[in-house]
């Protein structure tokens, strides 16, 4: 079995030193950007991420923790399977300082010692049930689900349009599906997803590709190839200190992987994106406690009225299934 690494990028939005740098950069930014305090809010649950990895994916070779420079006090920094990576360790100097998550995400392949097969986690993505290597890679290919969609108008929607413009310039959608029908119409996806793809077949171009917002398996060599293919667009994005509507994203890499057919079809029925709100948080906590899903993404939102109380409730749910400290904790 080929070795698999996990990469997680994390920010503590409450760190005074980080906030001072963020505000300084924000004040100097002359362009409109998509910076939001909600996106950098820390739910104090990173230790449950490490507990989940150790319990549910003990086979992982190495964890690369990408950070601006701050680290949680409880972290065992000398853990033999932990690689702490500062932005300046892998992001080219001309792109620094950066508070653009796209810049960070699109340069992960530059991390020293990163395995060819790696899985990217945002810090809001967690494992809550046992995972196997074949949940992420099969026969050396990343596991994913290819389903047509329509990009919805939003700030991130603008960026996805930019990604799709490059994909449509490189690929003919109809040719892609004719060449790889088994990967776009795999029975593993379920009838609902297959029907949704079929409804968009008449359109000659990619109007969107469904994004699952779950840990994303990737190949280092493929990211390197994408940089060669679209260097100008990626370089331009990385020179924006904050996320900007003219940017492209690392979804471009995933879309290229799907369009080329270089992936293994996988059901996403055991994964779930859940948005944290006052109304939804209790049901989300119950799902965590019952371990209903294998992988989850907890999307923050502005609809949290009492953050401290809701944060405590969410941590209590994780504590129910992951009460024991991991070897990554002091």
Residue 327: inside a domain, yes or no? no
Residue 326: inside a domain, yes or no? no
Residue 209: inside a domain, yes or no? yes
- Retrieve residue 273's tokens: 């994106």
Q: Which of 259, 319, 270 is nearest to 292 (CA)?
A: 270
Helices (H) and strands (E) in the chain, counts: 13, 11
Cβ(212)–Cβ(268) below 8 Å: yes
* Cα diameter, the chain: 57
How many domains does the chain divide into? Answer: 1
Tens place of pLDDT per residue across the chain (330 aa): 579 999 999 998 888 999 999 989 988 876 555 555 566 678 899 999 999 999 999 999 999 999 999 999 999 999 999 999 999 999 999 999 999 999 999 999 999 999 999 999 999 999 999 999 999 999 999 999 999 999 988 778 899 999 999 999 999 999 999 999 999 999 999 999 999 999 999 999 999 999 999 999 999 999 999 999 999 999 999 999 999 999 999 999 999 999 999 999 999 999 999 999 999 999 999 999 999 999 999 999 999 999 999 999 999 999 999 999 999 999
Residue 152: inside a domain, yes or no? yes
Whole-angstrom distance, CA of residue 91 vs CA of residue 98: 9
Residue 293: inside a domain, yes or no? yes
pLDDT at 41: 79
Q: 231 burial class (0-12, 13-18, 19+ CB within 10 angstroms)?
A: exposed
Residue 328: inside a domain, yes or no? no
pLDDT at 152: 86
Residue 329: inside a domain, yes or no? no
Beta-bridge partner residues of 218 = 118
Q: Residues 189, 206, 109, 105: is their CA dihedral positive or negative? A: negative
Residue 248 half-sphere exposure toward CB, CA atoms < 13 A: 24
Strand boundaries in the chain, DSSP class E: 4-10, 62-67, 82-86, 117-122, 125-127, 137-138, 141-144, 216-219, 264-265, 271-275, 295-299
* Cα–Cα distances in angstroms (integers) from residue 3 to residues 51, 57, 63, 206, in the given order: 20, 13, 12, 33
* Domain span holding position 119: 4-321
DSSP label at residue 326 = P
pLDDT at 183: 97
Residue 183: inside a domain, yes or no? yes
pLDDT at 157: 86
């Amino acid at each position: 079995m080929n070795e698999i690494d996990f990469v997680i990028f994390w920010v503590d939005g409450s760190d005074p030193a980080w906030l001072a740098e963020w505000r300084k950069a924000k004040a100097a930014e002359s362009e409109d950007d998509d910076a939001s305090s909600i996106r950098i809010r820390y739910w104090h649950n990173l230790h449950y991420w490490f507990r989940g990895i150790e319990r549910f994916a003990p086979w992982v070779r190495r964890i690369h923790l990408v950070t601006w420079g701050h680290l949680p006090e409880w972290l065992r920094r000398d853990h033999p399977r932990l690689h702490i990576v500062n932005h300046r360790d892998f992001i080219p100097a001309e792109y620094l300082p950066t508070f653009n998550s796209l810049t960070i995400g699109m340069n992960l392949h530059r991390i020293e010692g990163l395995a060819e097969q790696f899985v990217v986690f945002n810090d809001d993505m967690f494992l809550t049930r046992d995972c196997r290597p074949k949940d992420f890679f099969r026969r050396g290919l990343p596991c994913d689900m290819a389903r047509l969609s329509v990009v919805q108008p939003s700030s991130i929607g603008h960026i996805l349009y930019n990604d799709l413009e490059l994909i449509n310039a490189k690929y003919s959608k109809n040719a892609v599906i004719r060449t790889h029908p088994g990967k776009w119409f795999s029975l593993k996806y379920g009838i609902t997803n297959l029907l949704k793809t079929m409804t968009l077949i008449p359109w000659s171009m990619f109007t969107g590709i469904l994004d699952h917002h779950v840990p994303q398996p990737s190949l280092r060599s493929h990211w390197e190839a994408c940089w060669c293919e679209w260097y100008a667009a990626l370089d331009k994005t990385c020179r924006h200190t904050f996320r900007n509507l003219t940017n492209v994203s690392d979804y471009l890499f995933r879309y290229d992987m799907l369009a080329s057919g270089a992936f293994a079809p996988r059901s996403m029925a055991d994964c779930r994106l859940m948005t944290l709100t006052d109304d939804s948080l209790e049901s989300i906590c119950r799902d965590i406690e019952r371990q209903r899903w294998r992988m989850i993404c907890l999307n923050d939102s502005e609809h949290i009225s009492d953050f401290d109380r809701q944060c405590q409730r969410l941590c209590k749910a994780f504590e129910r299934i992951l009460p024991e400290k991991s070897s990554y904790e002091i």
